[in-house]
């Protein structure tokens, strides 16, 4: 079974071909970083137009890389949300058109499920259920991953996402966009103990994350003029690591048995974060799984793979399936929080 995956939910346009046994046959990606750099962030209208221009050539290139035609594809998987609605529409409508034209089944993939299942594409021995720290540009969550479409959210951020905090810190430090990798690079030359910064919610009984206070503290440190850029970056990164490790340790202590500790999403590309989580997993005698860096940030291989997992579980979608700008993996937990619980 061959799955074509399409991704267009943010500022990466991507197409990939993956087999049901986890071989990546082709993956193509066009990033819009240059397009959005002058604005210091993603501009939705510009993103949607860029997706339109980039997607079809990427699909053709991926098929050519794999020496295949659309007829060789068995399943079409496209991101249907969450994300910027204009971009999501581009990929989903293209997926629907291809599925209709070629008479193939369509799987509408939740972008977060793409991130969540990507570790199983990276490591085919990884079994359900695993504890996942999903850290990306828009999300920071701890999830018990029980199977395709089957998630228990144990924690989420009450304000900013971890990647958002990296991006805002990069902006405050004048490092540029996108911020995560630039902060990591600056931090490598700095002292993580130089700047006293808060660790919001660390040690508390509640399970959640918070990064807004950390961001404000970084702003004050920058404005004070007392600290070197590298030292602020290193101290910020250390504060994030301490928060992620503390909250994940809490979840490991409380939750029922899991097969592994897993990290995914764009922020999982950060090496010091990976190292700290690997140590935490070892403390709990658990295997640690983190996808290769390119599979952590947005890509279409993870969408094709989530499509493969859902298809294998009998989860296919009607061509009327809508694009969903908001789409939680665990709707019950989302609802409970919305009600103030
Ligand atoms: P979401 O997946 O929540 O919808 P998204 O798709 O925009 O959001 P991803 O592409 O998964 O997010 O991740 C991008 C985020 O990851 C950005 O915030 C970026 O700064 C961050 N990031 C990427 N590389 C690193 C790194 N090396 N260190 C820290 N953060 C990083
Ligand atoms: Mg991106
Ligand atoms: Fe993402």
pLDDT in 10s for each residue of the chain, 341 residues: 999 999 999 999 999 999 999 999 999 999 999 999 999 889 999 999 999 999 999 999 999 999 999 999 999 999 999 999 999 999 999 999 999 999 999 999 999 999 999 999 999 999 999 999 999 999 999 999 999 999 999 999 999 999 999 999 999 999 998 899 999 999 999 999 999 999 999 999 999 999 999 999 999 999 999 999 999 999 999 999 999 999 999 999 976 699 999 999 999 999 999 999 999 999 999 999 999 999 999 999 999 999 999 999 999 999 999 999 999 999 999 888 776 54
Residue 40 has what pLDDT?
A: 85
The protein residues having their C-beta less than 5 angstroms from ligand 3 (an ion) are 136, 298
Quick check: CB of 139 below 6 Å from ligand 1?
yes
Residue 334 has what pLDDT?
A: 87
Ligand 1 geometric centre to CA of 114 (Å): 14
The closest-lying atom of ligand 1 relative to the alpha carbon of residue 167 is: 20
In the block, tokens 């991006």 appear at 167
Measured by CA distance, the residue closest to atom 5 of ligand 1 is 137
Quick check: CB of 237 below 6 Å from ligand 1?
no
Query: Is residue 135 marked as binding?
Result: yes
Quick check: CB of 111 below 6 Å from ligand 1?
yes
The ligand placed nearest to the CA atom of residue 161 is: 1
The ligand placed nearest to the CA atom of residue 240 is: 1
What's the rounded Cα separation, in Å, for the pair 328 and 334? 7
Residue 256 has what pLDDT?
A: 66
Residue 335 has what pLDDT?
A: 86
CA atoms within 13 A on the CB side of 46: 13
Residue 292 has what pLDDT?
A: 98
Ligand 2 geometric centre to CA of 224 (Å): 31
Residue 299 in tokens: 């890509």
Ligand 1 geometric centre to CA of 167 (Å): 9
Residue 183 contacts residue 236 (beta carbons within 8 Å)? yes
Query: Is residue 184 marked as binding?
Result: yes
**pTM value surpassing 0.95:** yes
Measured by CA distance, the residue closest to atom 9 of ligand 1 is 266
Ligand 3 geometric centre to CA of 266 (Å): 6
What's the rounded Cα separation, in Å, for the pair 23 and 2? 9
Query: Is residue 21 marked as binding?
Result: no
In the block, tokens 């079994």 appear at 127
Quick check: CB of 328 below 6 Å from ligand 1?
no
Residue 4 contacts residue 75 (beta carbons within 8 Å)? yes
Residue 340 has what pLDDT?
A: 54
Residue 336 has what pLDDT?
A: 85
Neighbours of 139 (CB within 10 A): 24
Residue 293 has what pLDDT?
A: 98
Peptide bond just before 319 cis, omega within 30 deg = no
Quick check: CB of 269 below 6 Å from ligand 1?
yes
Helix (H, G, I), strand (E, B) or coil at 270: coil
Quick check: CB of 180 below 6 Å from ligand 1?
yes
The ligand placed nearest to the CA atom of residue 35 is: 2
Query: Is residue 111 marked as binding?
Result: yes
Residue 236 has what pLDDT?
A: 99
């Amino acid at each position: 079974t061959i799955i074509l995956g399409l991704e267009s939910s943010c500022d990466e346009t991507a197409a990939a071909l993956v087999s049901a046994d986890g071989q990546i046959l082709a993956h193509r990606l066009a990033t819009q970083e240059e397009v959005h750099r002058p604005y210091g962030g993603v501009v939705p209208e510009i993103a949607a137009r860029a997706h339109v221009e980039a997607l079809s050539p990427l699909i053709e290139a991926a098929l050519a890389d794999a020496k295949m035609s659309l007829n060789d594809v068995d399943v079409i998987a496209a991101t249907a949300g969450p994300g910027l609605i204009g971009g999501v529409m581009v990929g989903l409508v293209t997926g629907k058109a291809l599925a209709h034209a070629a008479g193939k089944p369509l799987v509408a993939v939740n972008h977060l499920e793409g991130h969540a299942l990507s570790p199983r594409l990276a490591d085919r021995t990884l079994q359900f259920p695993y504890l996942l720290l999903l850290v990306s540009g828009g999300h920071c969550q701890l999830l018990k991953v029980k199977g395709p479409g089957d998630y228990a959210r144990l924690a989420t951020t009450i304000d900013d996402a971890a990647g958002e905090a990296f991006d805002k810190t990069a902006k405050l430090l004048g490092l540029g966009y996108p911020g995560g990798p630039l902060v990591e690079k600056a931090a490598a030359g700095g002292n993580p103990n130089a700047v006293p910064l808060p660790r919001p919610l660390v040690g508390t009984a509640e399970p959640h994350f918070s990064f807004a206070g950390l961001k404000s503290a970084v702003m004050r440190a920058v404005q004070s003029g007392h600290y070197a850029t590298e030292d602020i970056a290193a101290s910020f990164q250390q504060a994030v690591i301490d928060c992620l490790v503390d909250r994940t340790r809490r979840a490991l202590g409380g939750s029922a048995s899991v097969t592994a500790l897993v990290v995914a999403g764009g922020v999982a590309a950060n090496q010091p974060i990976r190292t700290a989580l690997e140590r935490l997993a070892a403390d709990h005698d658990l295997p640690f799984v983190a996808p290769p860096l390119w599979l952590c940030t947005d890509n279409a291989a993870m969408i094709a793979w989530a499509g493969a997992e859902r298809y294998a579980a009998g989860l296919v979608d009607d061509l009327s399936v809508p694009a969903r700008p908001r789409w939680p993996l665990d709707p019950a937990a989302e609802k409970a929080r919305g009600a103030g619980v």
